Chain A
C-alpha cells in the first residue's frame, strides 16, 4: 500500500516568516499535485510536478519534486495571512491514472 506522509500537520507562524511543508513516501510517483483548501470550500489545485528534480514557482510558493520522485516540498517565502489554509499533496501512482494517494494535509495559519 502506498503512503504519503505529510508534515507538519499543523503550523502557525507570523506574517513575513518562511516555511516548508514536506510530503514523503517510500514509493515512486508518476506525478505529484499540491492543492490548497480554504474553509467551506473544496481543494483547488496549485501545481503539478512531473519530472524528478523539477522546481515550480507560483509567486511566493516554490514546489520541488524529489530527484527520485518519492517526495516533494512546498516552500512559502514571506508568508501572508492570505496563505492560510489546508495544504494537501497527492501522488499519482505509476500504474494508475486517477487513483491519487493523498497526504493528511498541513493546516497553515499565518498570523498578521
Chain B
C-alpha cells in the first residue's frame, strides 16, 4: 500500500530535550516536505526536499533541522524544543513533476507537546 509513515503519532517532551520525528514513504517520490498545522493558521511549511541531499527552508524553519540521506526518509529534528513548537506535524511526499500532475501524499501526523 502506498503510504507516508510518520512516527511517533504522539509525543510529549520537555523543553530542551532533543527529539526526532521520522518520516518514510514507499512511493519513490523525489519531493518530501514537513508542515506544522496550528488552529486558524492552516499548514505552514517547515522544510522541504526536492531530492536526496537537497533540502530547503520553508516558511517557518527556525528551531528545526532535516536531512535527506535516502530517498525514502526525511526525518525532522528538533535540537532544543520549546513550547512554541507544540503543534501537529505532517510529513508529505510527491512526484517531482509539478503540483498539477501529482498530489501531495500526507502522513497521519505527529502531535507534539513541549512542556
The chain A residues found within 8 Å of chain B, CB to CB, are 6, 9, 30-31, 33, 40-45, 48, 50, 88, 90, 92, 97-100, 102-105
A54 CB, min distance to chain B CBs, angstroms:
11
- Say yes or no: is B107 at the interface (Cβ < 8 Å to chain A): yes
Once the chains are docked, how many angstroms separate the CA of A9 from the CA of B42?
10
CB-CB under 8 A from B41, the residues of chain A are 104
14 contacts between A and B (CB under 8 A): A6-B42, A41-B106, A41-B109, A43-B90, A43-B104, A48-B103, A50-B100, A92-B98, A97-B96, A98-B48, A98-B96, A99-B48, A100-B104, A104-B41
A85 CB, min distance to chain B CBs, angstroms:
14
* Apart from the given pairs A88-B43, A98-B99, A99-B45, 5 other A-B contacts in the complex at a CB distance below 8 Å: A30-B99, A30-B100, A31-B99, A41-B108, A92-B100
* Number of A-B residue pairs with CB-CB distance less than 8 Å in the complex they form: 63
Q: Are B106 and A44 within 8 A (Cβ)? A: yes
Q: 9 closest A-B pairs (Cβ-Cβ)?
A: A42-B106, A45-B103, A31-B100, A104-B42, A92-B99, A97-B98, A102-B43, A102-B42, A50-B100
